[in-house]
Amino acid sequence: MSVFNELERRVEARMKKYKRVIVSYSAGKDSTVLLYLAKKIADDYGIELYAVHIDEGIAGHSDVSRRIAIKVAKELGVKLLGVSLKEYFGITIDELKPKFSLPPCAACGPMRRQLINDVGLRIGAPIFTGHNVNDDVETLIINMFRGERRRFLEPTGGPGMVPRETPFIDVSEETLEKAAEELGLPYKKEPCPYAKLSMRRKIIKHEMATRPKEKVIELQKVMRMIKAFHVTKLKSPRFCKYCGSPSASSVCRVCSIMKELGMLEERIRRTRERRKKFRIEDYIITDRWIS
Ligand code: SF4
Ligand code: ZN
């Protein structure tokens, strides 16, 4: 069986149970392969497909990603939804960086995750992401050793959270890179300029890239077992007292970030306004990027 057939089988197995699906599409190699396969399967099964691309507001990087996202979405004939952190949270990652105590990734990740979950809730569809085994192990190690048990054990499902599907979670980065090259579609090759600021992530990434993929998969299994053991001890899910998002503690990470930036009031106001209107068009730049 070719690599492509194997990847397609994984996506198909997860997708065919849904009528509507959202692909979180960054324009990187993993999500490009995922979007290509998701389109093929959506056509075969008559599934409604959306691609959601988030503009982080990182000069140079985000513009390139957006251009590629539009090009590929057009080429594949997929409906592209464009959402920006600026419109949604009132701040770009470039604006946040000088005011925030941690590397930008520590804010960008939770903001993007919460945004995409909200989009999923409004559209009423699960989120498919292209995360591979290297991403998974990297995140598990970082959260485990950050000394914050809460982060390692963050809820991954439950009330207020749309289902997350990660069909490539045990596929190596190397395999997806080969698949993306074979496809011949454009994808973003340059990493985000802020990625290098997270030293721990950089070290783990390098370590994993130098190990055989089987070893990385074994490590993932062990980490997931440890997580599963602890997760069973978690109390029932909670919701943030400021924004109502699912959260492992009384204040979600995005609200904690906004508090540090002095933007909590704005955050609460924006959340309230969105609740009142309850229309996805209010915060998704639908089709505007496709025209
Ligand atoms: Fe955001 Fe960090 Fe990823 Fe850049 S590397 S897009 S700042 S999470
Ligand atoms: Zn919150």
Residues in contact with ligand 1 by the CB-under-6-Å rule are: 56, 93, 104-105, 108-109, 192, 194-195
Which two structure tokens, joined as six digits, stand for 103?
């590397």
Which two structure tokens, joined as six digits, stand for 191?
């990493």
Ligand with minimal distance to 64 CA? 1
Q: What percentage of the chain has pLDDT greater than the value 90?
A: 55
- Provide the 8-state DSSP code for 59: T
Could you identify the residue written with the tokens 């197995």?
Answer: 13
Ligand with minimal distance to 257 CA? 2
* C-alpha 251 to ligand 2 mean position (Å): 5
More confident residue, 288 or 25: 25
Residue 233 confidence (pLDDT) above 80: no
Q: What is the pLDDT of residues 100-109, one digit of tens each?
A: 999 899 999 9
- What amino acid occupies position 144? M
Q: What is the pLDDT of residues 64-101, one digit of tens each?
A: 999 999 999 999 999 999 889 998 899 999 999 999 99
pLDDT score at 44: 97
> Is the separation of the CB atoms in 253 and 247 below 8 Å?
yes
pLDDT score at 189: 93
Mean pLDDT of the chain: 85
Those residues whose beta carbon sits under 5 angstroms from the ion ligand 2 are 240, 242-243, 245, 252, 255
Residue 208 confidence (pLDDT) above 80: no
More confident residue, 274 or 39: 39
* C-alpha 13 to ligand 2 mean position (Å): 34
Residue closest via CA to ligand 1's atom 8 equals: 105
Is residue 286 very low, low, confident or very high in pLDDT (cuts 50, 70, 90)? very low
Q: What is the pLDDT of residues 116-154, one digit of tens each?
A: 998 898 889 999 999 998 888 877 777 776 655 555 555
> Is the separation of the CB atoms in 127 and 116 below 8 Å?
yes
d(CA 235, CA 248): 9
Query: Which range, 197-206, 214-223, 280-289, has the best average confidence (pLDDT)?
Result: 214-223
Residue 291 confidence (pLDDT) above 50: no
Q: Which of 77, 143, 133 is nearest to 110 (CA)?
A: 143
Residue closest via CA to ligand 1's atom 2 equals: 105
Looking at ligand 1, which atom is closest to the CA of residue 195?
A: 5
pLDDT score at 209: 78
Q: What is the pTM of this model?
A: 0.86
Please give the angle made by the CA atoms of 70, 71 and 77, to the nearest 5 degrees.
Answer: 85
Superfamily (CATH H level) for 3-277: HUPs (3.40.50.620)
pLDDT score at 117: 92
Q: How buried is 153 (Cβ within 10 angstroms: 0-12 exposed, 13-18 middle, 19+ buried)?
A: middle
For the chain, the distance separating the N- and C-terminal CA atoms, rounded to the nearest angstrom, is: 39
Looking at ligand 1, which atom is closest to the CA of residue 104?
A: 7
Give residues with Cβ within 8 angstroms of 157, minimum separation 6. 163, 164
